[in-house]
Structure 1
Amino acid sequence: MSSSLSPSRLATYATCPRLYDYRHVQDVNTPDRTELYLTQGTIYHETIEDVCDATSRDDDPGVIYDRAMRIFDAKWDEHSTPDDYKSLAHQEYQRVENRTAVESFFEPDGGDGIEHARRSLATECWVECDVDGRALHGKADNVVRTDEGLHIFDYKRNTRGVLSSGTAEYLGAHLDGEAHEPKRVRNAFQTATYIEGVKNEPFYEDGMEVRFSFYGLLNHTSFESTPDGYDVSARGWSRETTEIYDEHYDTIWALIRHAHDGITAETYAPEPFELIHDEACADCDYREMCADRLSPEVRQ
């Protein structure tokens, strides 16, 4: 098997090969960034994981809901610290917002999380695959049993900007060097890795339908002031990319081969340079030290 790579590493290379070099090969340190949303992600991921692992197929929805709320409160106390926030009021607002999202997800009367928990086969499921000599690996948040087969979920804060049927055409443009779409390319890498990887798991049976979706727990939020403070509402939403994977299979695997082969061959020159320079350099943590950006005349 060839070197096994994650969707995240492939996506870093798709953003800029030199970025991959600095971050993963040379291991250059970057300035500290806020841990706020990373911590919140840990909280709702661990909440869902623990609820699913503790839930049986015939558990009452109310029991699942109460379990979720207890676990969320414990996870928030474990991971959230005032240092992550601008003020105690900011921390409290974020607690209420995230707790509301978990409440909505595990709402006893129709919340998607009830069936996600009841039908969960594996959480934080490590998967591996090797397609056309390119080995991939990743960790699926939840693998759910459906009547037709398996549905893999990747839980996110929201699905804004996630690959959709309306933006899938940009995958080909990225491959051809006509557009720079690393975030959507990353979504394609994740879809491919999890769909193909889960087929190597012991619970997969030949002929099973395998689906993959990103699920945004805070996809729709609203805030309303009240005499006593404020009310926060949140609702989750699923963005399935299974059909996109089927329809753009050749393009997605061409993108995977390009990134995978570039990494394994240690090819880190940013190409197409002009496009990467215009689209990626401004947000890069390494822009002040990058010779490719600072000395474009060298490329003439």
Structure 2
Amino acid sequence: MSENSLSPSRLAKYAACPRQYEYSYPQDINTPDRTELYLNQGKIYHETIEDVCDATERGDDAETIHARAMRIFDEKWDEHSTPDDYESVAHKEYQRIENQAAIDAFFDPEGGDGIEHARRSVATECWVECERDGRGLHGKADNVIRTDEGLHVFDYKRNTRGMLSTGTADYLADHLNGDGHEPKRIRNAFQTATYIEGVKNEPFYEDGMDVRFSFYGLLNSTSFESNPSGYNVSVRGYPRETTEIYEEHHDTIWALIRAAHDGITNETYDPAPFAIISEEACPNCEYRAMCPDRLSTEVKR
């Protein structure tokens, strides 16, 4: 990996606020602990999917894959779920049932997307790298599956709410021009570029292959229903593909990458345009109490 190779998360942190990036990475300033609940749950379903895919052969029947997934989920839950993450025993049990329902639905023998994801997987936790105009990018793809046309890269998420979509892709240009503030969607664009271009450098890529990328929300739709013995939780997951967005907004996305990459490598941390950043990023920033850029505005008032 080249010295100037950066991850989508670092680029997105800089795009959100250069000063926030400076505090997070070069200065490595610690902030108060936050809950590990969703981090641990993410580890559980990521490792479950990874282990199922790695253990599955193309000819495995759906019932075998489903049983394997449910067994591995139980193992991962016991390994990574800790009581301190939850408000009560009841809260922990509900979260277990909800996440279990997500894995159950994903690997449903009657048509769950996870069955083909496991059968067609060519790489899990796949480290990819690419470089353009001297600017390196790297990241770890959760799963790469082989399709009839080529390769489809997946990044598994809890849900896809608020992510980049065809209806919000035009906001990328607003961020680039300083007319908007879209760090989450910018990050999605950076991830899309990194994985689509990075997988083309992997040994299983063949010239001319079609390469697609999707986020997959495992808990995109969740419903809760009480019954005499307790409750039932139903979960449905589905993908959000950003391949066409990348193709249509290719130049804008790479201009955003260049701006963030150059700002980081040149150690330029002044927040600009500060009016938008102070309005959108400052209120929830973990460094706001110590940030001189924000404090200077308070003094002026």
TM-score interval for Structure 1 and Structure 2 normalised by the shorter chain: over 0.9
What is the rounded CA distance, in whole Å, between the counterparts of 1:219 and 1:134 in structure 2?
34
| Alpha-carbon distance in structure 2 between the residues aligned to 1:29 and 1:194 | 30
Q: Where do 1:200-279 residues align within 5 Å?
A: 200-279=201-280
Alpha carbons 1:218, 1:234 under 8 Å: kept: yes
**Alpha-carbon distance between aligned partners in 1 of 2:109 and 2:133, rounded to the nearest angstrom:** 44
- 1:184-208 Cα offsets, whole Å, 9 max, x none, are 0000000000000000000000000
Contact map agreement 1:51 1:67 (CA 8 A) in 2: yes
1:172 and 2:196 correspond: no
Shift of 1:296: 2.6
Conserved? CA contact 1:4–1:135, under 8 Å: yes
Q: Which amino acid aligns with 1:70?
A: R
Amino acid of the structure 2 residue aligned with 1:205: E
SS in 2 for 1:143: strand
Q: How does 1:13-28 map to 2 (within 5 A)?
A: 13-28=14-29
Deviation at residue 131 of structure 1 after TM alignment: 1.2
Runs of 4+ in 1 over 6 A off after TM superposition: none
Residue 104 of structure 1 corresponds to which residue in structure 2? 105
CA deviation vs aligned residue, 1:18-62 (integer Å, no higher than 9, x gap): 000000000000100000000000000000000000000000100
Aligned equivalents of 1:277, 1:121: Cα separation in 2: 44
- 8 Å CA contact 1:120, 1:143 repeated in 2: yes
Describe the shift of the 1:86–1:173 C-alpha distance in structure 2 as closer, same or farther (beyond 3 A).
Answer: same
- TM (normalized to structure 2)? 0.98
| RMSD (CA atoms) | 1.2
CA contact (8 A) 1:2 1:134 kept: no
Quick one: which amino acid aligns to residue 248 of structure 2?
A: E
1:269 offset after TM fit, Å?
A: 0.2
SS of match in other structure, 2:156: strand
Q: Give the Cα separation in 2 of the matches to 1:132 and 1:235.
A: 41
Partner of 1:152: 153
* Structure 1 residues 297 and 230: CA distance shift in structure 2, 3 A: closer
Instruction: Give the corresponding residue for 1:141.
Output: 142
8 Å contact from structure 1 (residues 2, 133) kept in 2: no
Q: Distance in 2 between matches of 1:74 and 1:13?
A: 37
For residue 127 of structure 2, give the secondary structure of its aligned residue in structure 1. Answer: strand
Unaligned runs of 5+ in 2: none
Query: 2:283 is matched with which residue?
Result: 282
CA shift for structure 1 position 132:
1.8
SS at structure 2 position matched to 1:196: helix
Report the alpha carbon displacement of residue 2 of structure 1 after superposing the two structures with TM.
5.7
User: Could you say what secondary structure the match of 1:110 adopts?
Assistant: coil
Query: In the alignment, what sits opposite 1:121?
Result: 122
Map 1:66-105 onto structure 2 (within 5 A): 66-105=67-106
Quick one: percent identity of the two aligned structures? Answer: 76
Instruction: Return the alpha-carbon distance in structure 2 between the equivalents of residues 132 and 190 of structure 1.
Output: 18
